[in-house]
Chains A and B, each alone.
Chain A
């Protein structure tokens, strides 16, 4: 059954790589406007590469990638500004002198374009984004003084301040405590529901997102599945990617079976 919503990202037998290495091979995948997509796969399976490709930071070595109906090598800055991005956690320089509000304001810069100074309207948008992630009372704090989870919220707010159509979050919960992990995922779900954003959420925590996403994309250099969680989370599919130790319990949890259990 064809999806009635317009496609927003379209991979057409696309491969991406670095000198001497293919990170993603022969990907064909269409993502529709307003979808909530979970992207899973082992370390090094090309999840981050997929994000960077959608952002136009990496051109396909083979095949095509269209975003907003525009070939990605023709992707203009204007289009990129429509995609909010939370990079996989890198090292945040705790000494970098920048306040929370200044960080979120950076989300406005691309949308504003060159030669335009951010004004009151942009401040309001940034403050609204901070309110959405529950960090508005920290606006004048130094970014470096916040905890990892709080910084993650600020970076989500920066992505929101772009007023994006697409939100790409690369492992937003890594390194957070379980309550904060849950809160961040709730927040993403809320943003998807309320703002009708197309969301690409990369995570290793399959159990946390399985009941929330419309589709799960399973990667390991190639695309192994892109379907509803019920269709993807089957032993015979997961085993191809994660190995045979992975089991699904009767409560539908995906876990790694204890090797010694059997012996």
Chain B
């Protein structure tokens, strides 16, 4: 295993996995608390459609992924704000539409393109130095903004109207959160893939949710779980030659079920039932 670590590609993938794991799990806390889980899923498929279009017309795939991702979250947020439609309905429609577009774009390509599929399922072991630096810069940007607006983000997740009433620019903060979700999805596309990025956002935060009643602890636990499972997933994938994305997600899921089983919240409830 130590010989593995000597390879450049291995160091790059571990670094990429750690950054993506940390980023997804931290933003995941706000996504889970604000009830935006489905938005994460919708955005990743929209971003994938952007990637496919990029390869089809020869534009930078990540650029189009950002455009598609941002368009999806902004439309969703706007629709929710207007109260015209429930969030899950609008995102459901956008989700399936962009997925259809993605499949259409792939179908229009004259030849089989393995790289496109890399974005679907993730290929962390093939991260290039340029991609790594893009991931690095964007991760620092997103994490920085999350940290900068952490108190406002917590408040709108708890109760957006109350936040607005007590002097928080709640609508702007909500759109900031949506924008950061879209950016996170795009950053993670190459590493975990469009299908699994959603899991990386959702699972560490939901696991931490089982374990604590405090917001600060929730974020720390989530980040720890996210980073550890990502790094461990990459190592396992390299050692046993299994795909990295699914390995990371299955590791995280395992921890999730362990946490559900040993959750202090669950234990307390069980005790109450027994005491009757």
Contacts and interface: CB of A to CB of B under 8 A. Distances in A.
Interface of A: 52, 55, 57, 77-81, 83-85, 87, 90, 95-99, 102-103, 106-107, 109-112, 114-115, 117-118, 141-145, 162
Contacts of A98: 158, 213-215
A84 B167 CA distance: 10
A81 B167 contact: yes
A60 B166 CA distance: 19
A79 B166 CA distance: 9
How large, as a class, is the contact surface on chain B?
A: 20 to 34
Interface string B178-215: 00000000000000000000000000000001001111
Nearest to B212: A97
B167 A110 contact: yes
A114 B149 contact: yes
B148 A115 contact: yes
Contact of A99 (B159, B167, B213): B213
Contacts of A143: 213
Interface of B: 33, 148-149, 151-152, 154-155, 158-159, 161-169, 209, 212-218, 265, 268
7 contacts: A97-B33, A97-B213, A99-B215, A109-B155, A110-B166, A114-B169, A141-B213
A85 B151 contact: no
A87 B162 CA distance: 8
Contacts of B216: 102
B26 to A, nearest CB: 15
Given A106-B158, A109-B152, A115-B148, A162 B215 contact: no
Given A96-B33, A97-B213, A117 B165 contact: no
B168 A77 contact: yes
A83 B151 CA distance: 19
A112 B163 CA distance: 13
